[in-house]
Amino acid sequence: MAGRRSGARWNHEIFAMKETRVTRTLHIVLLAVTAVLSAWTPDARAADVFGFNAEKIGVPGFDPPWHGKGKYVFVAPNPNPRTSITVDAFDLDGYTTCPPVLLKGETSNAVIGVGTDCNPYPKAWLNEGYGIFLGQLAVSVEITLKDISTSRDVLWEALGVDASGKQVFFQGTFRGNGADNQVSQSWTIDQGTLATTPVQPPGGFARPVGIIVVNVKSLGAGVTLPAFGSTRLDQSIYLVAVTATGF
């Protein structure tokens, strides 16, 4: 596809963490929440469980509210900012003339895709993805996707702060279970996942980790990363739902 980076080039650049809209926003968010997590102590309050499900929002015949927007805030019925989730479309190729937007699906209004004028295909695919910003620190985040094959994995990144106030970064993958493409599949990033995923913060981390951002990505055609062996990470995806559990 014209304009896309080669797999080899992107394989070297993925770790560079170039300052983008997502990483700039993350830096600001992490500075604000570091003090909160380091001062956190358990209490008797029940943890917030919050999220959204596109299948309960999108209906036939009408464009869903996220369609054509660079980002969309899913607000809980209460409406409490702490239980909101912002989904941000991003394109790792860095197009400036046609920035990425969230889209409805090719055949369904009840899924969330990503596209640009340069690549209007509605699934997040080939260096496209989602930045999922939580309204509060979470101990676990469940991600539900659709159209997942078994031949390629989906790259995820979790960013947050650990119990010592250290900013931390993790990477892992979601692997399909062989279900039909039209069937949604869910994965949970929790404290156990962070402890066992191949890419962890240098020097380790102190539990618990407060997750504040999850990125879900489709990398360039045929791209692999050393931590995940020969597994291809160019899976095309739709985002369906996110459920987070706060502290």
pLDDT at 77: 82
Residues in the chain: 247
- Record the pTM: 0.85
Task: Sketch the domain layout of the chain as residue ranges.
Answer: 7-41+51-246
pLDDT at 159: 98
pLDDT at 97: 81
* Helix H or strand E encompassing 87: strand 85-91
pLDDT at 6: 42
Cis before 64? omega within 30: no
Count of CA atoms in the C-beta half-sphere (13 A) of 99: 11
pLDDT at 2: 40
pLDDT at 33: 54
Which residues does the chain have with pLDDT short of 70?
A: 1-45, 117
pLDDT at 93: 82
